Chains A and B, each alone.
Chain A
Amino acid sequence: EVQLVETGGGLIQPGGSLRLSCAASGFSVRSNYMSWVRQAPGRGLEWVSVIYTGGTTYYADSVKGRFNISRDNSKNTLHLQMNSLRADDTAVYYCARVDYSDYVDSWGQGTLVTVSS
C-alpha cells in the first residue's frame, strides 16, 4: 500500500528556516515524480515544487530561490528545505506522488507550517 507521512511542520518566526520530510512506503521515491503542494488557511491548492526521477526540479515563482526540494533514496524520503520564511508561507504542506502522466495519485495527510512572530 502506498503511504506518505509528512513531518517537520510547526511554528517558526519570519525569516527562519524549516525542513519538511515525507517518508514514503509502498514505492520508491527515486523511481517516481515527487512534489510538494500547499494550502493556506481557507485558500486553494498551490503547487510548490516537483522533482523528477532524473533529479530535475521545478518551483513556483513564489518560493523560487528560498525553497529546495530533495530526496534521500537510501531512506526513501522526500524533503523540502524552506528558508527566509514569510507570513504568506503559512499553510498545510502536502507531500504528493505525481504519475508520469502529470497527475497526483497519492497524497500525504499534510503538515501545518505557521510563520508568525
Chain B
Amino acid sequence: QSALTQPASVSGSPGQSITISCTGTSSDVGGYNYVSWYQQHPGKAPKLMIYGVNNRPSGVSNRFSGSKSDNTASLTISGLQAEDEADYYCNSYTTSSTLYVFGTGTKVTVL
C-alpha cells in the first residue's frame, strides 16, 4: 500500500486561504468517507483536525474545513494564522491488508 499523495509544501500569507490535497485511489480515499486530517508541530504528537471527510472535533477552529471529490480529499485553512504553520497529514481507511494509510505530509508555511 503506497502512501496517499500530498504536496510537499504549501505557503500563504496571514489571512489568506490555502488548500492541501490528498490523492489516493478508489480503494481508499475514493471508496470511503473515512478520511481524516492531522496537524503536527515540530517535536509534538499529531492532533486531529478533521474526521469523516468534513467533520471538525470539538475545539478545532472553524477555519479548518475538509472536502472530497472522487479520489482526492482536501483540507482548507482559511484566515491563515502564524500558529497554523505545521505539518499536515491526511489518512484514509483502505481495503489493503494495511487497513489504514497516511498521506506523504505537507509542510505549511505562513509567510
Contact = CB atoms under 8 A, between A and B. Distances in A.
Interface stretch (B10-18, B19-27, B74-82, B100-108): B100-108
Interface stretch (A11-19, A23-31, A104-112): A104-112
Given A58-B98, A61-B97, A103-B91, A44 B104 contact: yes
Nearest to B90: A45
A51 B32 CA distance: 20
A6 to B, nearest CB: 10
B97 A58 contact: yes
A44 B103 contact: yes
B110 interface: no
Contacts of A60: 1, 98
A99 B102 contact: no
A101 B93 CA distance: 9
A102 B97 contact: no
Given A47-B98, A94-B45, A110-B45, A103 B103 contact: no
Given A103-B51, A104-B48, A44 B99 contact: no
A104 B38 contact: yes
Given A102-B36, A103-B36, A107-B46, 12 more contacts: A44-B103, A45-B38, A45-B40, A45-B102, A47-B100, A58-B98, A61-B98, A102-B34, A102-B93, A103-B91, A104-B36, A108-B45
